[in-house]
C-alpha cells in the first residue's frame, strides 16, 4: 500500500470554493496525510482502500468529495434526493459513530443553503421518526446495517440509485457480526458505484471484501508514526491497587476530562462507586444504557460538564472528543486491535494526547501480546507512592505453577489444560 507524503494545502486538492470557505471557518489549516492522499483520487471517481487509525481525518476524507459531487450535480439541475432514494450511503458499526459522521457532514455543508440533505439512522430510537426524516429521499444516508435493513423492509428507503458507498471501520463491522447484513445491503446497491473502504486492520474478511467489491482501487496505508501525537505510558501496579492509583493520578494531574476503559458493564458501575468513595464523581457509558441516556452522557462529556467517564468498548470507536487529554486502560482490552482504537480517542487531529495503561501481574503477558501485535514496546513505569512488586516472566510463571504434591498422596487427578493467558483472563475479568 502507498504511504502518505507531506500534506498539500486544501486549495491544492481540487475542492470547490464553498467547501474551502467552510474549512477555513472550521480552522482546518492543512489536510491530514490521509486527506491529502485520498481526496484527489476520490474526486476523480476511483475506488479507495484506506488503512488508517481513528483520529486521522477519515470523515472529511470521504465527506468533502461526496458533498462536492452532490453540489455539482445540483448545479446541473439534478435533484439528488428524490422519491425514497439515496445517492451517497455510509455504513458504520455504531450508533455514536453514525450520529457523529452525520453531524460532521452537515457542518461541512453549511454553505449549501440546505440543498444537500443528510440523515442518520440507527437502532435504539424510534424507527418512525427516522422514516419521517427519510420522506422524499436523502442525498447522504449514514446508517448502521441492522436499522437500515429494517427501514428498507418498511419501504422507507431504496438503495438502487446509490452512486457512492462508504464502508467506515469495515473491520469493526465484520467483527461485530454484520457480515450477513452487509451482504444483503450490498446486493441492493447498483453494480456500478464508487466504493470507499476504511479499516484500521485488514483481517481475511476485509481482504475478501475488497477483492470482491472494489475495482482497481487506490490504496493508502498510513504509518502510525506519520500521524501520531499520542504519548503512551504503562504503569505497573500491585493487584488490588488499581483504583487507588487511578484516583491518585486523576487528583494529581487534575485532568479536565478522563476517559477510562473497563471490560464489562458491571465493572463500570463498580468502579464509579469506588471512585465516588475517594471523592471523584464519574458517569458510566455502556450498552445497557438507553440511547437518550447515552446521548446525554456523551454530550455532557464532550462539553466538559462530566470530567470522568467510565466506559466499555462501545466507546472505543465513534467518539470524537476535541482535545481529550487522557485515556486510561483500567482493564486491558481483550483484542490487541481494540487497544489502538481505545487510545485513539486522545491525540486526535494533531492534538497532543496521553494514553495510560495500568497493569498488574495478571495483565503482564497479555500486554506483551498487545505490544507485539501493534508493533510497539513501552517502558514499564512506577507511580511514586504506589511502587509495585517487580514483574518478570519468572515471577508470572512461578505464580501460575501449581505447588508440587508430596509423594505418596495417591492417584493424581487429571487437570484440564488451560493456557496461562486464558487462566489470567478468567481471573482478571472477575477481579476488579
pLDDT category of residue 160 using cuts at 50, 70 and 90:
very high
pLDDT of 154 reads 94
pLDDT of 218 reads 94
For residue range 288-324, list pLDDT tens digits in order: 888 889 889 988 998 889 999 999 988 776 667 777 8
Domains and CATH numbers, the chain: 10-223 (3.40.50.300), 228-393 (3.40.50.300)
pTM: 0.65
β-pair partners for 49: 197, 219
pLDDT of 318 reads 60
pLDDT category of residue 3 using cuts at 50, 70 and 90:
very low
Distances (CA, A) of 401 to 61, 395, 404: 52, 10, 9
pLDDT of 141 reads 98
Contacts of 28 (CB under 8 A, 6+ apart): 10, 60
Q: Residue 176: exposed, middle, or buried by beta-carbon count in 10 A (0-12, 13-18, 19+)?
A: middle
pLDDT of 321 reads 74
Q: Which of 7-16, 127-136, 273-282, 401-410 has the lowest mean pLDDT?
A: 401-410
Overall average pLDDT of the 154-171 stretch = 94
**Between 337 and 103, residue with greater pLDDT:** 103
Overall average pLDDT of the 279-285 stretch = 94
Overall average pLDDT of the 142-160 stretch = 95
Overall average pLDDT of the 79-98 stretch = 84
Q: Is a pLDDT exceeding 90 seen at residue 426?
A: no
Overall average pLDDT of the 147-161 stretch = 95
DSSP state of 123: T
Q: Is a pLDDT exceeding 60 seen at residue 427?
A: no
**Between 405 and 175, residue with greater pLDDT:** 175
pLDDT of 413 reads 40
pLDDT of 394 reads 52
For residue 368, the SS3 value is helix
pLDDT category of residue 2 using cuts at 50, 70 and 90:
very low
For residue range 358-405, list pLDDT tens digits in order: 999 999 999 999 998 888 889 899 999 998 887 555 555 444 444 444
For residue 324, the SS3 value is coil
Residue appearing with cell numbers 470547490:
16
How many beta carbons lie within 10 A of that of residue 24, not counting itself?
12
Q: Is a pLDDT exceeding 50 seen at residue 411?
A: no
For residue range 46-67, list pLDDT tens digits in order: 999 998 766 678 899 999 999 9
pLDDT of 55 reads 64
Amino acid at each position: 500500500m502507498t504511504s502518505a507524503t507531506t500534506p498539500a494545502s486544501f486549495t491544492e486538492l481540487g475542492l470547490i470554493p464553498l467547501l474551502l470557505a467552510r474549512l477555513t471557518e472550521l480552522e482546518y489549516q492543512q489536510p491530514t496525510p490521509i486527506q491529502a492522499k485520498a481526496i484527489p483520487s476520490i474526486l476523480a471517481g476511483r475506488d479507495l482502500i484506506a488503512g488508517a487509525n481513528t483520529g486521522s481525518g477519515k470523515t472529511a476524507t470521504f465527506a468533502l468529495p461526496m458533498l462536492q459531487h452532490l453540489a455539482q450535480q445540483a448545479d446541473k439541475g439534478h435533484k439528488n434526493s428524490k422519491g425514497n432514494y439515496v445517492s451517497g450511503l455510509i455504513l458504520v458499526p455504531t450508533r455514536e459513530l453514525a450520529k457523529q459522521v452525520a453531524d460532521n457532514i452537515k457542518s461541512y455543508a453549511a454553505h449549501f443553503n440546505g440543498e444537500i440533505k443528510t440523515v442518520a439512522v440507527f437502532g435504539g430510537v424510534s424507527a418512525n421518526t427516522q422514516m419521517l426524516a427519510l420522506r422524499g429521499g436523502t442525498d447522504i444516508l449514514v446508517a448502521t446495517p441492522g436499522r437500515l435493513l429494517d427501514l428498507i423492509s418498511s419501504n422507507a428507503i431504496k438503495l438502487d440509485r446509490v452512486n457512492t458507498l462508504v464502508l467506515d471501520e469495515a473491520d469493526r463491522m465484520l467483527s461485530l457480526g454484520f457480515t450477513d447484513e452487509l451482504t444483503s445491503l450490498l446486493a441492493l446497491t447498483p453494480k456500478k458505484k464508487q466504493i470507499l473502504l476504511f479499516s484500521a486492520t485488514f483481517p481475511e474478511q476485509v481482504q475478501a471484501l475488497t477483492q470482491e467489491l472494489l475495482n482497481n482501487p487506490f490504496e493508502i496505508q498510513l504509518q502510525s508514526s506519520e500521524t501520531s501525537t499520542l504519548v503512551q505510558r504503562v504503569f505497573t501496579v500491585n493487584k488490588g491497587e488499581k483504583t487507588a492509583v487511578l484516583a491518585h493520578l486523576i487528583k494529581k494531574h487534575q485532568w479536565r476530562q478522563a476517559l477510562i476503559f473497563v471490560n464489562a458493564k458491571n465493572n463500570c458501575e463498580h468502579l464509579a462507586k469506588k471512585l465516588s468513595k475517594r471523592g471523584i464523581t464519574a458517569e458510566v457509558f455502556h450498552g445497557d444504557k438507553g440511547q437518550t441516556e447515552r446521548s446525554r452522557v456523551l454530550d455532557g462529556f464532550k462539553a466538559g460538564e462530566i470530567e470522568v467517564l467510565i466506559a466499555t468498548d462501545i466507546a472505543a470507536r465513534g467518539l470524537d472528543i476535541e482535545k481529550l487529554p487522557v485515556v486510561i486502560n483500567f482493564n486491558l482490552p481483550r483484542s490487541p486491535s481494540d487497544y489502538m482504537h481505545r487510545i485513539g480517542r486522545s491525540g486526535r487531529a494533531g492534538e497532543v494526547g496521553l494514553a495510560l495503561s495500568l497493569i498488574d501481574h495478571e495483565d503482564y503477558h497479555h500486554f506483551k501480546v498487545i505490544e507485539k501485535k501493534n508493533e510497539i514496546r513501552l517502558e514499564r513505569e512506577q507511580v511514586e507512592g504506589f511502587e509495585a512488586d517487580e514483574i518478570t516472566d519468572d515471577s508470572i510463571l512461578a505464580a501460575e505453577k501449581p505447588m508440587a504434591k508430596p509423594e505418596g498422596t495417591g492417584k493424581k487427578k487429571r487437570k484440564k489444560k488451560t493456557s496461562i493467558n486464558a487462566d489470567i483472563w478468567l481471573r482478571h475479568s472477575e477481579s476488579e
